[in-house]
Amino acid sequence: MPASSSPIEQLGPVVRRRGGLDRTRAALARGQLTVGFLGGSITAPGVSWPEPLAAWLGDTYSGVRLTIENAALGATGSELAAIRAQSEILNRGCDLVFVEYAVNDFGTEPGLRARAREGLLRQLLREGNCDVVLAYTYCPEMQADMFAGRVPASITDFELLADRYGLSSVWMGLHAVREVQRGLLRWEDWLPDGLHPATRGSLCYAQSVMAFLAEGLASGAKAKNALRDKLPAALTPGAWERVSLLPLTAAELTGPWSLRRWTSCPGVNQVLITPAPGAGLRMAFTGRGLVLAFDFGRASGEISHRLDGGAWTDSQRDCPAWAGEAGWLRHHLITEDLAPGPHRFELETLPGPGSAVRGSRTALGLIGVIE
């Protein structure tokens, strides 16, 4: 079969240019560039593609002070990113932001995925003075679609948003698959565990982004969109566009809680923690939704909660075999369907299901309010 007719070739270009890199170019001219990353474990600090990309930027623009704000977290998706974007990206003054959630959002219910994703992108575009680029990596669940010449739904949905908001995208996973097909990269060197690239695979991912940046910055092309001052209407009703974090000190506590400095769970600096079932927490908030994020693992118990004096609901969170005792910042969506306005939330801690399997610890790290 000729290469031109192979399903992988029919998937189109790796890079789709829509917006320009005006803010990145201006930052380079000032001599100081801050690059932000949002995504899952494939992008999180360590042996990941932002590392060779940062090295390339430092080498290519050796006279520029380079700052990297890598806010990617393993086993997290767009929902958690939407409540962290302000503190982790916008408040850090990023000039260029890469968003990589095509993999970690893959199994999320499509409606929720759309509301969280579009809300995240609208936050970055409305409040940030940054260029936003979508980056798509690869997971095994994408293979059947890709080798049949179909774009996986998680990427198709992102491309709808890219068209809507004039955002460029780089399909790094497609670039890597094509490298494998050309014999330039062995699959086992790309993805030793089937999902996470090692050094060689991360370099392959980064090279597609390097090529995108090199061409875009050299061309001097201006952005096609002028959406900063007036964004178009959201495609998705209920998009999480306006989200704020409540301080942990806003909660009223009963039982043996403590507020602690926290270094064992990436993504949080403090937690409200209790080892005891039956500890209580109450707080008021104003909005239409509430998202909590916990340091979660096998040592974690469950919670019971209610809103505005209604019925109590017990959480039933799964604990995958790969999870440790703790260290996974896991979001828990309480609701997004309230009437906008003031509300009252109550929580009581519960032991985990089966004392030999799960513990009783509750460690609350973030309180996100959807306005």
| Chain segment 251-267, per-residue pLDDT in tens | 999 999 999 999 999 99
Instruction: Provide the pLDDT for residue 48.
Output: 98
Whole-number pLDDT of residue 352: 80
How much is the average pLDDT of 136-144?
98
What is the reported pLDDT for 4?
A: 53
**What's the CA gap between 45 and 71, in Å, rounded?**
8
| pLDDT tier, 226 (very low <50, low <70, confident <90, very high otherwise) | very low
**Pairing outcome for strands 270-274 and 258-261:** antiparallel
* pLDDT > 70? residue 357: no
**Percent of the chain whose pLDDT exceeds 90:** 92
CB half-sphere exposure, 133, CA atoms < 13 A = 31
List beta partners, residue 309: none
pLDDT of 128: 81
Residue 157 has pLDDT above 70, yes or no: yes
Amino acid 2: pLDDT: 45
* Interatomic CA distance for residues 16 and 174, integer angstroms: 12
Total-model pTM: 0.95
Q: Which of 169, 176, 140 is nearest to 155 (CA)?
A: 169
Higher pLDDT, 4 or 166: 166
Task: Please say if the pLDDT value at position 156 is more than 70.
Answer: yes
Q: pLDDT tens digit string along 79-110?
A: 999 999 999 999 999 999 999 999 999 999 99
Say what the pLDDT of residue 104 is: 98
Contacts 24+ apart (CB under 8 A), 355-358: 357/298, 357/319, 358/298, 358/299, 358/300, 358/301, 358/319
Q: What angle do helix axes 110-127 and 153-165 make, rounded to 10 degrees?
A: 30
Task: Check the CA dihedral 164-167-168-169 and report its sign.
Answer: negative
Domains defined for the chain, CATH in brackets = 3-219 (3.40.50.1110), 243-370 (2.60.120.260)
For residues 48 and 287, give the distance between their C-alpha atoms in angstroms, rounded to a whole number: 37
Contacts 24+ apart (CB under 8 A), 355-359: 357/298, 357/319, 358/298, 358/299, 358/300, 358/301, 358/319, 359/298, 359/299, 359/300, 359/301, 359/325
**225 contacts: CB under 8 Å, gap ≥ 6:** 18, 19, 165, 166
Average pLDDT, the chain: 95
Dump pLDDT digits (tens) for 279-328. Answer: 999 999 999 999 999 999 999 999 999 999 999 999 999 999 999 999 99
Distance, in Å, from the CA atom of 182 to the CA atom of 215, rounded to the nearest integer, reads 23
**Region 234-255 average pLDDT:** 97
When pLDDT is averaged across residues 339-348 and rounded to a whole number, the result is: 98
- Is the pLDDT confidence value at 224 over 90? no
Query: pLDDT value at position 1?
Result: 40
* Mean pLDDT within 333-338: 98
Lowest mean pLDDT among 143-152, 296-305, 356-365: 356-365
By percentage, how much of the chain surpasses pLDDT 70?
95
